[in-house]
Amino acid sequence: MQRPVFTRSLLHTKFWLLWLGLALLWLLAQLPYACLLLLGRALGALMYRFAKERREIIETNLQLCFPQLSALERQHLLQANFASMGIAFFEMAMSWWWYKPRLRRLGSVEGLQHLQQAAADGQGVILMAVHFTTLEVGANLLGQLHTIDGMYRQHDNALFDFVQRRGRERHNLDATAIEREDVRAMIKVLRAGRAIWYAPDQDYGRKQSIFLPLFGIQAATVTATSKFARLGRAKVVPFTQERLADGSGYKLVIHPPLDNFPGESEEADCLRINQWVEQAITACPEQYLWAHRRYKTRPEGEPRLYKKRRR
């Protein structure tokens, strides 16, 4: 996709309220990092109180995935997760608008040599991630050190889409945004020896998925990772990021490439991916995007696990 270009249509009166909100967010984002963490936690507390439907989704996911925890432990995890989502709102603003060296000082990266070696070999990389609340700041911090492309779904609001894409791509001067459904473009980029951020941990429906356990619950698991790796002749390199508890910034880890991947079958590959996703989430469960209905698609005959959406 071409890089976003500002047009006069974005000044239409229908966007004025959003422009005002973005301007306010830009001003708040100039505050010190410690202040933004406090604001984020406060926002998370408000979300916890008023976002009832989202809270019910997270509660259901935590009950399904961590039955071994007591009710009190899950309650603490629930509140910590809302705090993390609130902080993520300001991390998004930091990623879009902070001066690059200021943002870079918050990040430490381990395992960058795995991406550098693949680039030297001319081999594409599927940078396999999970949907942590820190994904925006993590991708931008890594993008300052190594060009990564990304899967992309266009936002319905043209102004927000422009600001989001411009903010994300400013750290990668030659990065490409690839439409999520554009398989040919994905394969082409991988065969060109580039790295693509890709997260296979969400429920994308019954099509192109198989049911395999995730935290002991049958979950619709996409098979695309194996196909992309095979057709793109690419390595699969796991990638995680974590917001440090002491408020000093973020730790990014690029893990060694998966050995013998793709394997003997898509089922074995998907099971392996789910097991890795479990390990990554368990390392910092409060920072995972539990608000996603991960188990909404059920095997034939199984009842739904979430309440109906409120209209």
Question: Which residue pairs from 254-257 have beta carbons closer than 8 angstroms and sit at least 24 positions apart in sequence?
Answer: 254/109, 254/110, 254/111, 254/112, 254/114, 254/115, 254/127, 254/142, 255/111, 255/114, 256/111, 256/114, 257/114, 257/118, 257/125
Q: What is the DSSP letter of 296?
A: -
The token duo for 36 is 């933004």
| Contact assessment for residue 88 and residue 134, using Cβ atoms and an 8 Å cutoff | yes
- For 37-69, give the DSSP string: HHHHHHHHHHHHHH-HHHHHHHHHHHHHH-TTS
The token duo for 56 is 């019910």
* Residue carrying the six token digits 């890594």: 142
The token duo for 146 is 């190594």
Q: What is the DSSP letter of 4?
A: P
| Burial bucket for residue 161 (CB in 10 Å: 0-12, 13-18, 19+) | middle
Quote the pLDDT of residue 180.
Answer: 75
- For 124-184, give the DSSP string: -EEEE---BTTHHHHHHHHHTTS--EEEE---SSHHHHHHHHHHHHTT-TT--EEETT-HH
**Stretches in the chain below the pLDDT threshold 70:** 1-2, 173, 311
Quote the pLDDT of residue 4.
Answer: 75
Quote the pLDDT of residue 1.
Answer: 56
Cis peptide bond N-terminal to 238, omega within 30: no
| Contact assessment for residue 203 and residue 220, using Cβ atoms and an 8 Å cutoff | yes
Nearest alpha-carbon partner for 29 in 101, 88, 83? 88
| Contact assessment for residue 150 and residue 139, using Cβ atoms and an 8 Å cutoff | yes
Q: How far is 103 from 125, CA to CA, in rounded Å?
A: 25
Q: How far is 224 from 207, CA to CA, in rounded Å?
A: 11
Nearest alpha-carbon partner for 92 in 54, 140, 151, 158? 140
- 240 Cα distance to chain centroid: 10
Quote the pLDDT of residue 2.
Answer: 65
Nearest alpha-carbon partner for 211 in 130, 267, 169? 267
